[in-house]
C-alpha cells in the first residue's frame, strides 16, 4: 500500500502596516492551524511601535485541500492576561502545494466570531512554502525586504497566492496611458497544448543546443515565476468581471470574440492561460528552468494576442493577464474565479479533433468541470457556432 508523503507548511510572518497607532502598543501575532487552540505567538519589540517580525512557523499538513491557517494580530497593551484584538486573516493552503515561495500582502479582516468588535485595520506581509522534506531550509532563495503595502501593490500587482507581476521596462512612466502594452510577447506556438507537447518532445534537442549564460538562466528563472503580465484595477470595477480561459485554440478565440459583443467599457477582463507542469522532476535545475521558460514564453505570446485584440475593440476596458502554473488547469481556473469574485467565466468548448495527443490528460470535459465547480455563471462557446450556450448559475 502506497502512503502519501508527509508535508509541512511554513509560514513566514514578515511585517505589518497600519496596525500600530500608538508607540506604546505591544502588538503580537497568534497563528492557529485549522482552528486549533494550540497557539504560536511571536511579539514585536515592546513599546517601540515596530511592526517587523520576520519569524517562521511550521505546521504538519493533514489535508492540503482543506487545511487553513489563521493569522491574528492582537495588542497586549496594559493588559496582564487578556489582549485587544486588531484583525486577522484566514488563508487556505491549497494554492501552496507547488512547493514554491508565495509572498503576499493580506488585508486584515474581521473574523467570523468578531462580529461585535471594532473594525479590523491594517495589512500583514506573509510568505508560505510547502515542503515534503522537513530537513530542507524553507525560503532558502527568497530574501525578504522591508516594503510598504502600496509599494508591493504597485510593483508586484496581484494580491493572490503565487502570483507575481511582470515588471515593465524602465521606459514606463506613470503618467502615460495605463493600457499601453509594455508586456507584449511574440507568438511562438499557436496553442499552449501544442507548445507543451512540442517542447517536451524535442526536449533533448533543445537542451543539447542551448548555450545560455548564467545571467540568462537567472533571468529565465525569475521570469518563470512571473504569473501576471498585466494587472488592471479589477478592485475598482463598476461593471461585470469576466474571466476568459485562453489556450490559443479556435474555441478560445471564438469564446472571446463572442464575449466582446456583451462587454461594456465599465467591465473588467481576466485572461488566464494555464501552464501545466509537464517538465519531469528528474531533469536537473538548469534543464528544468530552460524548458519551463520555453512554455512560459509560449503562454505569454498567446495571452499577448488577446490583449491586442481587446485594446483594438475596447481600449478603455481594464484587463488582467495571468499565467499560473498548475497541475490541473481546471482547478486553478475555478480557484481564481472564487478568489477574484468573477461574475462570468468564459471557456471554449473544443470540437472533436481540435486537441492533439494530450487529450487524455483530463478524465472529464474541461467545460463541464467548470460548470460544476466554478462559483459564477459559466458560458461556453464552440469554434464553429456563434451562439453561446445558456449560462449555468453556480452558487
Match 507537447 to its residue by C-alpha cell: 197
**What is the distance between the alpha carbons of residues 357 and 24, in angstroms, rounded to a whole number?**
65
The kind and range of the H/E element at 294 are helix 285-313
Q: How far is CA 65 from the centre of its chain?
A: 16
C-alpha torsion sign, points 86, 90, 95, 99: positive
Label residue 35 by pLDDT band (50, 70, 90).
Answer: confident
> For residue range 75-121, what is the model confidence (pLDDT) as tens digits?
765 554 556 778 888 888 988 887 888 888 888 876 554 444 456 67
Q: Helices 214-224 & 285-313, crossing angle to 10 degrees?
A: 60
> For residue range 59-86, what is the model confidence (pLDDT) as tens digits?
888 888 888 898 888 876 555 455 677 8
Q: Give the pLDDT confidence score for residue 250 in this predicted structure.
A: 87
Instruction: Inform me whether the pLDDT recorded for 23 exceeds 80.
Output: no
Instruction: Inform me whether the pLDDT recorded for 175 exceeds 80.
Output: no
Q: Give the pLDDT confidence score for residue 84 in this predicted structure.
A: 72
Fold designation for 8-149? Immunoglobulin-like (2.60.40)
**What is the distance between the alpha carbons of residues 381 and 347, in angstroms, rounded to a whole number?**
7
Instruction: Inform me whether the pLDDT recorded for 353 exceeds 70.
Output: no
Q: Is residue 345 within 8 Å of residue 376, measured between CB atoms?
A: yes
Q: Is residue 11 within 8 Å of residue 125, measured between CB atoms?
A: no
Q: How far is CA 242 from CA 162, 239, 255, 343, 376, in A?
A: 21, 10, 12, 6, 10
CATH of domain 192-382: 3.40.50.620
Q: What does DSSP assign to residue 167?
A: P
Half-sphere exposure of 32 (CA within 13 A, CB side): 12
Mean pLDDT of 358-378: 72
Q: How far is CA 88 from the centre of its chain?
A: 21
Q: Is residue 347 within 8 Å of residue 370, measured between CB atoms?
A: yes
Instruction: Inform me whether the pLDDT recorded for 169 exceeds 50.
Output: no
Give residue limits of the domains in the chain. Answer: 8-149, 192-382
> 334 by DSSP, 3-state: which?
helix
- How much is the mean pLDDT over the chain? 76
**What is the distance between the alpha carbons of residues 30 and 71, in angstroms, rounded to a whole number?**
6
**What is the distance between the alpha carbons of residues 118 and 110, in angstroms, rounded to a whole number?**
8
Amino acid at each position: 500500500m502506497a502512503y502519501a508523503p508527509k508535508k509541512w507548511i511554513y509560514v513566514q510572518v514578515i511585517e505589518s502596516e497600519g496596525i500600530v497607532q500608538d508607540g506604546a502598543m505591544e502588538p503580537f501575532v497568534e497563528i492557529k492551524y485549522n482552528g486549533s487552540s494550540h497557539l504560536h505567538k511571536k511579539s514585536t519589540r515592546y513599546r517601540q511601535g515596530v511592526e517587523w517580525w520576520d519569524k517562521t512557523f511550521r505546521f504538519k499538513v493533514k489535508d492540503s485541500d482543506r487545511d487553513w491557517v489563521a493569522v491574528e494580530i492582537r495588542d497586549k497593551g496594559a493588559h496582564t492576561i487578556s489582549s485587544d484584538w486588531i484583525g486577522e486573516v484566514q488563508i487556505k493552503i491549497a494554492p501552496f502545494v507547488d512547493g514554491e515561495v508565495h509572498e503576499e500582502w493580506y488585508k486584515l479582516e474581521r473574523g467570523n466570531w468578531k462580529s461585535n468588535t471594532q473594525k479590523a485595520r491594517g495589512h500583514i506581509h506573509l510568505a508560505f512554502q510547502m515542503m515534503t522534506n522537513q530537513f530542507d531550509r524553507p525560503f532558502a532563495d527568497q530574501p525578504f525586504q522591508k516594503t510598504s503595502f502600496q509599494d508591493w501593490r504597485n510593483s508586484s500587482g496581484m494580491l493572490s497566492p503565487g502570483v507575481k507581476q511582470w515588471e515593465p521596462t524602465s521606459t514606463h512612466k506613470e503618467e502615460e496611458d495605463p493600457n499601453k502594452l509594455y508586456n507584449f510577447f511574440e507568438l511562438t506556438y499557436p496553442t499552449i497544448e501544442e507548445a507543451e507537447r512540442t517542447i517536451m518532445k524535442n526536449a533533448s534537442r533543445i537542451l543539447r543546443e542551448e548555450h545560455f549564460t548564467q545571467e540568462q538562466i537567472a533571468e529565465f528563472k525569475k521570469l518563470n515565476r512571473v504569473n501576471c503580465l498585466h494587472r488592471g484595477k479589477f478592485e475598482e470595477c463598476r461593471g461585470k468581471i469576466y474571466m476568459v480561459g485562453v489556450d490559443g485554440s479556435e474555441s478560445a478565440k471564438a469564446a472571446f470574440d463572442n464575449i466582446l459583443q456583451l462587454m461594456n467599457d465599465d467591465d473588467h477582463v481576466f485572461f488566464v492561460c494555464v501552464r501545466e507542469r509537464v517538465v519531469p522532476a528528474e531533469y536537473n535545475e538548469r534543464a528544468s528552468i530552460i524548458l519551463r521558460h520555453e512554455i512560459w514564453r509560449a503562454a505569454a505570446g498567446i495571452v499577448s494576442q488577446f490583449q491586442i485584440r481587446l485594446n483594438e475593440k475596447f481600449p478603455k476596458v481594464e484587463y488582467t493577464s495571468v499565467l499560473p502554473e498548475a497541475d490541473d488547469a481546471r482547478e486553478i481556473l475555478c480557484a481564481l474565479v472564487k478568489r477574484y469574485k468573477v461574475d462570468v467565466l468564459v471557456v471554449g468548448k473544443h470540437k472533436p479533433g481540435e486537441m492533439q495527443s494530450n487529450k487524455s490528460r483530463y478524465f472529464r470535459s474541461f467545460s463541464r468541470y467548470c460548470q460544476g465547480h466554478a462559483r459564477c455563471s459559466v458560458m461556453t462557446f464552440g469554434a464553429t457556432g456563434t451562439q453561446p450556450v445558456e449560462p449555468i448559475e453556480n452558487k
